[in-house]
Amino acid sequence: MKVLILTFVSILFMSSFSGAQTAIDINDANYKFKFSLTPDWNSRKTEETNKQDAISYSYDKTDGKMALMLLAFKVNEVKNLTDFIYTLEKDLTLNIPKREGDYTDFDSGNYDGKMAEYKDTEFSEVIYYYRTKISEGNNYTYLLRFIVPAMYYNSSVLAEIKKIAGNFSPVIE
């Protein structure tokens, strides 16, 4: 009985301690973007190409119910968003499932993008595609991908995805 009580108290202590942790802020000055994640995410991997023209960030939720991938690319001019999306959807190494429904467009002035849902029997995914629209200077394109096992995909997960995507923004100078 003492062991059970100690275990219960330990769980309460740990849960209150974990609630006191701060958000994870990602601010990449080289690829001109920023966003933040709640403390229940872990960084899995960050990789940059040898040419330093693309970078990949990977994160997992600590409960194992969602993964996040961010790809950022430096480009010399304003990229055609449709071509960018087509190229990534057809990239076999990304293994993106079949798209469900239409794209949702958004425009925030100096950058715009599209969002779509993708599904197969194993996973439901939500992918946001962004591009900067700077007439003079470097431009960037981004893929923000959320991967959720199909059994965990629901309205609360979708709300969390929208919240994270809502605080992602290219840093336009």
The domain spans of the chain are: 23-170
- pTM of the predicted protein model: 0.85
Structure-derived torsion over alpha carbons of residues 160, 162, 133, 49, reported in degrees to the nearest 10: 30
Q: Are 131 and 111 a contacting pair, CB within 8 Å?
A: yes
- Model confidence at 4, pLDDT cuts 50, 70, 90, reads very low
Question: Is residue 3's pLDDT more than 90?
Answer: no
Question: Is residue 58's pLDDT more than 80?
Answer: yes
Mean pLDDT rounded to a whole number for the chain: 88
Tokens of 36: 């933040």
Position 43 scores a pLDDT of 93
153: helix, strand or coil: coil
Strand partners, 115: 104, 128
Tokens of 29: 């000055």
Tokens of 37: 């994640």
Contacts of 127 (CB under 8 A, 6+ apart): 96, 115, 116, 118, 143, 144, 145, 146
CATH homologous superfamily for the domain 23-170: Mog1/PsbP, alpha/beta/alpha sandwich (3.40.1000.10)
Q: What is the DSSP letter of 151?
A: G
Q: Cα separation of 112 and 53, whole Å?
A: 20
